[in-house]
Amino acid sequence: MRTADWRNRDHPSYWAFLVHRVSGLTLALFLPLHFWVLGRALAGEAALDEFLRWTEQPLVKASEVALVFLLAAHLAGGLRLLLIEFVGWRRQAKQSWVAIAAGVALFCALAFALNLY
């Protein structure tokens, strides 16, 4: 008896599922930090300027690129799931959307990184 494709850890859909879940959890963990930064902006111009100077560090810039990748991966993965759910595609088309979603996420992160420097 053959197991369902999504349970096979070598299947592209499994990896798409995993990336979508991990990116969603990571973005949920990032959200309080984002609200804290917005609070710094409300605290005054000096507090925000101090934080913005701190963000010029290379590790923070690399984290921003990773964050953009996670956002794009979560968005592309979610759109992929919606298209699979509402459009009746053959099995091959479903698998090619995994590669398209990954390509979109990578393109967005690289475009953001190139814009930083």
Residue 88 falls inside a structural domain: yes
Domain that holds residue 48: 12-116
Contact 80, 16 (CB under 8 A): yes
Q: What is the pLDDT of residue 5?
A: 54
Q: For residue 35, is pLDDT > 70? A: yes
Residue 2 belongs to some domain of the structure: no
Q: Is residue 59 part of a domain?
A: yes
Local confidence band at 7 (pLDDT 50, 70, 90 cut-offs):
low
Q: How confident is the model at residue 1 (pLDDT cuts 50, 70, 90)?
A: very low
Q: What are phi and psi of 9, to 5 degrees?
A: -70, -10
Asked if residue 43 is part of any domain, the answer here is yes
Kindly report the average pLDDT of the chain as a whole number. Answer: 85
Residue 69 lies in a domain: yes
Q: What is the CATH number of the domain that holds 90?
A: 1.20.1300.10
The stretch 24-45 carries a mean pLDDT of: 90
Does some domain include residue 3? no
Region of 44 please: left (phi>0), alpha (psi -120 to 50) or beta.
Answer: left
Total domains, the chain: 1
Structure tokens at 12: 């592209």
- At 82 the pLDDT is 86
Average pLDDT, stretch 108-116?
A: 91
- Asked if residue 67 is part of any domain, the answer here is yes
- Please enumerate in sequence order all residues whose Cβ is within 8 A of that of 97, keeping only pairs 6 or more positions apart, or say none: 80, 83, 84, 89
Confidence of residue 94 (pLDDT cuts 50, 70, 90): low
Burial class from Cβ neighbours inside 10 Å (0-12, 13-18, 19+) for residue 109 reads: buried
